[in-house]
């Protein structure tokens, strides 16, 4: 093994090419702030957010209107994780494999596993933002797309995003393996070139591209939400406010029921067909306040209305790409570097993640580390919705 990473760069790129063929749904399709800068756990990264300006009348004259200024906002994302994937070899282990030419093959596969493991960890953290979703559609325990030639699951998620003002472009649907299997097994129209307009893409290559305006993605990181105990308790909770609540309200007081409410629980109110996602739950029985996510109630809510919590579900997600934010950085190193003999960066051409690779030569052994620091956020929860399964 050489004294730096130059000799293993072909192996690194071969491993990166291997992992780049893995299916990841969230990382390439969310608002991403990824650089080669370093960051430490707990550090806050500011990502710019451009607000929407207002339309103005066009009035002919000598000069254009004195308008167009904007205050550019930002979203603070905390770098919550800094992880390294370790690979270590002793001189004796290398020597034993040298006659068989297996060192680079095994090392390539080890690096591929490292890149894959880090990418999957980031995917899981993005998927975990489902607790910030605005509303939900579907039936807990029933896999979406299970009815043949029926795309209602997609159209209803589009409806939620439409009602919440999400842009028509940039919409993404990321589903888990069960929902994907139903799409491939039940939706026969997707296999017909004359109807789908993409001959053989799904039938031969399993390529799900765009459906109903959504860029389709698959992720192993999709969460299975375990509902709070209020989902299976009796009696039900009742809305408790004499004057009732107006559309847009988010904080709801409940009473009479039993069981806990958790963040991510889906709650509905009698007379309102919408399903709301609880952002801040409450433990215990009886009187309590829960907070549903932005943009709050769509309909006014009367005192005494029954509040029902859904059972546990799988949180497939439909969203606009600006609903989720990923900030990715290089793990922090001290001024002047640490004991690493060499450090380099590699950019995954599919996910856009920039991995840090370091090599440490130790006493009769060598250790590689693949590192990444990251944090996730949901700056626009109203543009995030759950397709329950």
pLDDT for residue 102: 72
Q: Are 269 and 305 spatial neighbours (Cβ–Cβ below 8 Å)? A: yes
> 305 with 322, same domain?
no
Same domain, 86 and 161: yes
Q: Which of 259, 291, 311 is the last residue of a domain?
A: 311
Report d(CA 378, CA 366) in Å as an integer: 40
Work out the pLDDT band at 191, boundaries 50, 70, 90.
Answer: low
How many Cβ atoms sit within 10 Å of the Cβ of residue 24?
25
- What's the mean pLDDT in 5-9? 75
Domain boundary among 277, 311, 345: 311
Residues 359 and 296 in one domain: no
Q: Which of the four pLDDT bands, split at 50, 70 and 90, describes residue 47?
A: low
- The reply to whether 3 falls in a domain is yes
Is 379 found in the same domain as 341?
Answer: yes
The answer to whether residues 173 and 306 belong to one domain is no
Residue 122 sits in the same domain as residue 209: yes
Least confident span in 13-17, 203-207, 303-307: 203-207
pLDDT digits (tens, 9 = 90+) for 73-108: 777 888 999 999 999 988 888 888 776 667 778 888
CATH number of residue 250's parent domain: 2.40.30
Residues 270, 147: one domain?
no
pTM: 0.85
3 state DSSP class of 262 = coil
Residues β-bridged to residue 34 = 328
pLDDT of the residue at 356: 93
- pLDDT given for residue 7 in this prediction: 72
Rounded Cα distance, 242 and 245, in Å: 9
**Could you tell me if residue 67 is inside a domain?**
no
Would 65 be classed as within a structural domain?
no
User: How confident is the model at residue 8, as a pLDDT?
Assistant: 77
What is the extent of the structural domain holding 261?
A: 227-311
Look at residue 7 and tell me if it is in a domain: yes
- Kindly state whether residues 247 and 372 are assigned to the same domain: no
What pLDDT digit, counting tens, does each position of 236-284 carry? Answer: 999 999 999 999 999 999 999 999 999 999 999 999 999 999 999 999 9
Asked whether residue 4 falls in the same domain as residue 146, the answer is: yes
Q: Among 296, 311, 326, which residue terminates a domain?
A: 311
For the cut 50, the answer to whether the pLDDT of residue 199 exceeds it is no
Cα angle, residue 351 at apex, residues 219 and 322 outer, rounded to 5°: 80
Are 287 and 331 contained in the same domain? no
My answer on whether 123 and 247 are in the same domain is no
For all residues of the chain together, what is the average pLDDT? 87
Instruction: Kindly state the tokens that stand for 249.
Output: 């309200």
Radius of gyration for the chain, computed over Cα atoms and rounded to the nearest angstrom: 25
Tokens of 39: 């960051």
Contacts of 50 (CB under 8 A, 6+ apart): 70, 72, 73
Examine residue 265 and state whether it is found in any structural domain, yes or no. Answer: yes
In-domain check, residue 55:
no
Judge if 30 and 137 occupy the same domain: yes
Number of domains in the chain: 2
CA 150-310-185 angle, to 5 degrees, is 25
Residue ranges of the alpha helices (H) in the chain?
9-19, 91-97, 103-127, 152-163, 177-186, 193-196, 201-205
Residue with tokens 């929407």: 52
> Which of 363, 343, 349 has the alpha carbon at shortest distance from 9?
343
């Amino acid at each position: 093994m050489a004294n730096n990473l130059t000799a293993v760069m072909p192996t690194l790129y071969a491993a990166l090419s291997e992992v780049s063929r893995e299916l990841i749904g969230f990382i390439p399709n969310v608002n991403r702030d990824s650089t080669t800068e370093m960051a430490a756990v707990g550090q806050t990264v500011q990502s710019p957010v451009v607000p929407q300006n207002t339309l103005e009348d066009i009035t002919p004259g000598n000069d254009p209107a004195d308008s167009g200024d904007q205050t550019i906002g930002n979203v603070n994302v905390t770098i919550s994780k800094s992880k390294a994937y370790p690979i270590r070899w002793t001189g004796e282990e290398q020597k034993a494999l040298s006659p068989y030419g297996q060192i680079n093959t095994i090392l390539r596969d080890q690096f591929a596993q490292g890149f894959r493991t880090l990418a999957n960890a980031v995917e899981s953290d993005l998927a975990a933002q489902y607790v910030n979703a605005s509303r939900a559609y579907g039936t807990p325990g029933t896999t979406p797309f299970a009815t043949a030639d029926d795309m209602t699951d997609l159209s209803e998620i589009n409806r939620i995003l439409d009602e919440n003002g999400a842009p028509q472009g940039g919409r993404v649907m990321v589903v888990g393996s069960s929902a994907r299997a139903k799409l491939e097994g039940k939706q026969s129209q997707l296999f017909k070139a004359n109807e789908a307009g993409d001959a053989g893409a799904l039938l031969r290559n399993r390529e799900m591209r765009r459906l109903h305006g959504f860029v389709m993605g698959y992720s192993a990181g999709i969460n299975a939400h375990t509902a709070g105990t209020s989902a299976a308790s009796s009696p039900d909770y009742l809305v408790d406010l004499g004057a009732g609540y107006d559309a847009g309200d988010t904080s709801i007081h409940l009473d009479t029921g039993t069981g806990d409410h958790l963040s991510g629980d889906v709650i509905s109110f009698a007379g309102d067909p919408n399903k709301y996602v609880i952002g801040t739950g409450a433990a215990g029985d009886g009187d309590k306040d829960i907070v549903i996510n932005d943009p709050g109630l769509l309909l006014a809510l009367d005192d005494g209305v029954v509040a029902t919590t859904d059972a546990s579900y799988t949180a497939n997600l439909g969203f606009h790409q600006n609903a989720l934010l990923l900030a990715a950085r290089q793990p922090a190193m001290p001024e002047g570097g640490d004991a690493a003999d060499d450090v380099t960066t590699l950019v995954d051409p599919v996910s856009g993640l920039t991995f840090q690779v370091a090599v440490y030569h130790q006493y009769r052994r060598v250790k590689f580390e693949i590192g990444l620091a990251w944090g996730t956020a949901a700056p626009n929860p109203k543009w995030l919705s759950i397709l329950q399964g």
